[in-house]
Amino acid sequence: MPFMPPSFAKDFHHTLRSLWRDRVFTTTILATCALCIGTNIVIFAVVHSILFAPLPFNHPEQLVLPDNSYTKVGLEHIGASVPNYFEWRANVPAFAEVGAYDVRKGLIGEPGSPERVTTVYATPGFFRVLDAKAQVGRLFLEEEGSYGGANHWNVAVISDAFWRQRYAADPGVIGKVIKVEGGDRFVVGVLPPDFRFLSTQAPIWVTMIWTDPERVAARRHWSSTNVIARIRPGATLEQAQAQIDALNASLAATDPGAQWAKDAGFKTTVRGLHAAHVAQVRPALLLLEGAVLLLLIVGFFNMLNLLLVRANSRAKEMSVRRVLGASRMNIVARLLAETTVLSVGGTAIGVGLAAAGLRVIGRLGVAELPLGAFVRMDASVLAMAAGAAMVLALLLAVPLIAFASGFELAPALASESRSGTTTRGRHRFRDSLVVAQIALAFVLLTGAGLLGLSFRRMLAVDPGFRPDHVLTAWVGVTWKNYKEKTVRNAFADRWLQSVRSLPGVSAAALGTFIPVDGDRGTITMVVEGHEPAAGGAAKAHNDALIAGDYFSALGIPLREGRPLDDADTLGAKRVCVVDEDFARQYWPRQSPLGYRITLGGGPIGADSLRIVGVVGSVKHGSLSERDPRGMVYVPMTVFSTPFRMATIVRSTVPSEVLVPEMRKTLLGIDPILPLDGVKTMDSLIDDSLIFPRSLLFTASVFGAMALLLSAIGVYGIMAYAVGQRQREIGIRMALGAQPMRILLQFMRYGGALLFLGLVFGTAGSLAAGRLMESLLFNVSPGNVLVYLMAVVALCGVVMVAAMLPSRRAAAISPIEALRQD
């Protein structure tokens, strides 16, 4: 350090010897620093990797995600349509490139050993948007993005990992055939090892193409794909937004769905790709970052208080050094060396703790978050840790230097008298640090308490079904072999009957929706008797196509009417069953049976579905759903049996026995179809709770650490006060003061610090509670029970910390105290 005097190395060596002699003090400071810095490194690594680290593409700030919303019917950011893709590509000058993509589960492998892997369907422009290059071969050509082009459209690009695993990194892989969804795809390129797209790590990328009927204007509001774009150099996101708004306005004149779109609150939003991808987790991660910074502040106050106490005990040493000729710069160098050793040492230990902490949060499910699979301690995180160590050293040194250099606290160097008292200003400063510690600890404790109560109430929620003994899995058929609706219907019926016949199976069903799995359809619906008025639009609700014993398999109770049965499915009857949430929205005081619904927003007529039953409501996306849309269950064959369907089985047979039998049965029906996504319903519920459980665990750790640090802070200040006033206490006891009175005096001192901390902490907790309101479920940010529990916990710990030095004060021997000078 160029500003340090030549004697800094000598001061550094002396500091190490001094800290080694005072090992209890040193250990306390290092442990506090390591814990606080270590937790900050862990959370910063998560927040940095997910929210702030740039996407691994050239000029990632130019990448945007345009998508559609229909705000008046409750549909936000639902993607884009095929006509949108072509219109934006041709008519938005701010876009240099436009691409479309869709992430699916693709079937690969040979008969008898099929498997489903993540497969991305992408237009040729997709890779140009990302400015990606192939390490072997090439990427898609524009001609390969349509039927009948100069080149074959059925091409594929594979990932580096897939290339090495399946082809042993053979450079001759170009031209080889991969079976994808039963059809031949020719490998034309291999992606680089470091290529990734957001949270998707797909082994296979294939061309996305559309037929002419899918591109017509009538499908402008069929949001069935995802579009990304790159803004031209010099253009701005605001310009792109204005151009899309103008385009939408100009297209409205020829848009068959323009009036509906207007009534539904249609708009297109252009957002940064990175920001859009992490939008859902941003509030929670920023709150976690705020909480861990509060913990660091608590630790900082704790360390500063201990250092001030130690500096006071060394006041005579400092005075003697000044008398013997030590300059003010020598004193500053000695103090700065001490804080540097402590902060750098604590940070080094904290980095080790953080490395272990990252492994722990990996098991807590951080990889399930957007970009969470890429959380790591990289160079930027380590640079943050090094910077934090230096800043911490300076922040700790400044008050100590002021203390030793004559600012504010400096008179204390000469204030020692036989009474052992010190200046009032010094007492107030250290007391303020303890009060701040208690206040911040209270904020963290109440935050953890609110999350804990929220999680408890989440667990107590009735999901609306019985998850025990229920197994779920997904089956997908190929376009090549099952393009005809009748063939898919026949497969679905045969598969369902085969599963029903397995030993131990009491109910089996097919569907497009599994509760709490997060994968559910949403569509606008016109309800008889509640047709939207002029200027209004039909509401959007959830829908599921089902077949078999769906309600029995999941244990969903029937409230009214009848369930759907095989006759409804086989006969493709235009009937449906609604849940209680749906019925409550339209018929709060009467039966909905017999009323009709039209899916897709069309008028009530011959194509409408008649309600024949009402079932209990289930939690669709998660247990913490706040605003249920309502669900409509439709026989699977009424529209078109999907290419991918869920299988839901209630059985008395353990899953480890049932699953092999189901796989064997499926291969017997079609040897190229795998059973994938196999999970019990209990495990699906557990998976849906990963994020709130991890959030609660992290907040609880922060709260416990803050509580411990506050206790240490109170103990330290009380022990210091007892030590400083030992002679005074001895005199008072010699004059007749009772030990109990001495004890109560110091307990009142600790109680006053606690009271002030709680007052400021309550104000901070109310503010923090409002910030975290979106993370709470059925819990008010000002929940009295949580605040009372936090008060009890903090009072108990802090008062115990205050009791120990207070009892020592009451036990002081007057004779021994008066002997000391």
Query: Tell me: the pLDDT tens digits for 460-499?
Result: 888 999 999 999 999 988 888 888 889 999 999 999 999 9
Helix (H) or strand (E) holding 679: strand 675-680
Q: Which of these ranges, 431-440, 561-570, 728-737, has the smallest mean pLDDT?
A: 728-737
Q: What is the number of other CB atoms lying within 10 angstroms of the CB of residue 781?
A: 18
Tell me the CB-side half-sphere exposure of residue 251, using CA atoms within 13 A: 28
In the chain, where are the structural domains located? 1-58+264-416, 76-263, 425-462+687-821, 470-651
CB 208 within 8 A of CB 122: yes
Whether residue 579 is predicted with pLDDT greater than 50 in this model: the reply is: yes
431 or 283, greater pLDDT: 283
CA pair distance 740, 742, nearest whole angstrom: 5
CA pair distance 6, 2, nearest whole angstrom: 9
267 or 603, greater pLDDT: 267
Buried b (16+ CB within 10 A) or exposed e, 24-59: ebbebbbebbbbbbbbbbbbbbbbbbbbebebebee
| Strands annotated E in 48-94 | 63-70
Whether residue 156 is predicted with pLDDT greater than 90 in this model: the reply is: yes
Measure CA 604 to chain center. Answer: 42
Tell me the CB-side half-sphere exposure of residue 475, using CA atoms within 13 A: 28
282, exposed or middle or buried, with CB in 10 Å at 0-12, 13-18, 19+? middle
Whether residue 8 is predicted with pLDDT greater than 60 in this model: the reply is: no
Under DSSP, the state recorded for 146 is S
Helix (H) or strand (E) holding 350: helix 328-363
Average pLDDT rounded to a whole number, residues 718-728:
66
pLDDT at position 469 is 94
pLDDT at position 2 is 41
CA pair distance 351, 347, nearest whole angstrom: 6
Reduce the secondary structure of 705-734 to three states and give it as a string: HHHHHHHHHHHHHHHHHHHHCHHHHHHHHH
pLDDT at position 410 is 44
Average pLDDT rounded to a whole number, residues 524-551:
85
pLDDT at position 65 is 96
CA pair distance 307, 292, nearest whole angstrom: 22
Q: Which of these ranges, 180-194, 211-225, 311-325, 673-687, has the smallest mean pLDDT?
A: 311-325
Whether residue 316 is predicted with pLDDT greater than 80 in this model: the reply is: no
Average pLDDT rounded to a whole number, residues 313-317:
58
CA pair distance 616, 614, nearest whole angstrom: 7
CA pair distance 439, 764, nearest whole angstrom: 8
Average pLDDT rounded to a whole number, residues 28-56:
90
The token pair that represents 302 in the structure block: 């704790």
Q: Which of these ranges, 110-119, 158-167, 272-281, has the smallest mean pLDDT?
A: 110-119
206 or 817, greater pLDDT: 206
pLDDT at position 311 is 72
pLDDT at position 775 is 86
Whether residue 412 is predicted with pLDDT greater than 50 in this model: the reply is: no
pLDDT at position 323 is 53
Whether residue 201 is predicted with pLDDT greater than 50 in this model: the reply is: yes
Whether residue 235 is predicted with pLDDT greater than 60 in this model: the reply is: yes
CB 208 within 8 A of CB 123: yes
Q: Which of 305, 298, 313 shows the shortest CA–CA distance to 399? A: 305
Q: Which of 69, 86, 87 shows the shortest CA–CA distance to 78? A: 69
Residue type, 295: L
Residues 6+ apart with CB under 8 A from 549: 507, 508, 509, 650
Tracing tokens 């591109």 back to the chain, one arrives at: 215
Average pLDDT rounded to a whole number, residues 569-585:
91
Buried b (16+ CB within 10 A) or exposed e, 321-344: beeeeeeeebbbbbbbbbbbbbbb
Whether residue 309 is predicted with pLDDT greater than 70 in this model: the reply is: yes
Q: Which of these ranges, 230-244, 266-280, 361-375, 759-773, has the smallest mean pLDDT?
A: 361-375
Question: 434: left (phi > 0), else alpha (psi -120 to 50), else beta?
Answer: alpha
pLDDT at position 167 is 92
Bridge partners, 582 (sequence order): none
710, exposed or middle or buried, with CB in 10 Å at 0-12, 13-18, 19+? buried
CB 629 within 8 A of CB 483: no
Ranges 142-151, 698-707, 719-728, most confident? 698-707
Whether residue 419 is predicted with pLDDT greater than 80 in this model: the reply is: no
Longest CA span, the chain: 108
The token pair that represents 481 in the structure block: 């072999």
CA pair distance 756, 767, nearest whole angstrom: 17
Whether residue 307 is predicted with pLDDT greater than 60 in this model: the reply is: yes
Whether residue 814 is predicted with pLDDT greater than 70 in this model: the reply is: no
CB 51 within 8 A of CB 278: yes
Q: Which of 136, 727, 772, 665 shows the shortest CA–CA distance to 449? A: 772
pLDDT at position 222 is 85
CB 214 within 8 A of CB 82: yes
Whether residue 821 is predicted with pLDDT greater than 80 in this model: the reply is: no
pLDDT at position 650 is 96
What's this model's pTM, rounded to 2 decimal places? 0.83
pLDDT at position 480 is 82
Q: How confident is the model at residue 329 (pLDDT cuts 50, 70, 90)?
A: low
pLDDT at position 149 is 58
Q: How confident is the model at residue 154 (pLDDT cuts 50, 70, 90)?
A: confident
| Strands annotated E in 385-499 | 470-476
pLDDT at position 633 is 94
Q: How confident is the model at residue 535 (pLDDT cuts 50, 70, 90)?
A: low
pLDDT at position 418 is 44
The token pair that represents 193 in the structure block: 């090892």
pLDDT at position 693 is 86
Q: Which of these ranges, 19-33, 279-293, 405-419, 424-438, has the smallest mean pLDDT?
A: 405-419
CB 454 within 8 A of CB 775: yes
Average pLDDT, the chain: 85
Q: How confident is the model at residue 730 (pLDDT cuts 50, 70, 90)?
A: low
Whether residue 416 is predicted with pLDDT greater than 50 in this model: the reply is: no
Average pLDDT rounded to a whole number, residues 704-718:
82
Q: Which of 92, 93, 105, 86 shows the shortest CA–CA distance to 146? A: 86
The token pair that represents 666 in the structure block: 């499926």
Helix (H) or strand (E) holding 539: strand 539-548
Q: Which of 71, 126, 60, 138 shows the shortest CA–CA distance to 99? A: 126
Whether residue 150 is predicted with pLDDT greater than 70 in this model: the reply is: no
CA pair distance 101, 107, nearest whole angstrom: 18
pLDDT above 70: percentage of residues in the chain: 88
CA pair distance 677, 646, nearest whole angstrom: 9
Q: What is the number of other CB atoms lying within 10 angstroms of the CB of residue 383?
A: 10
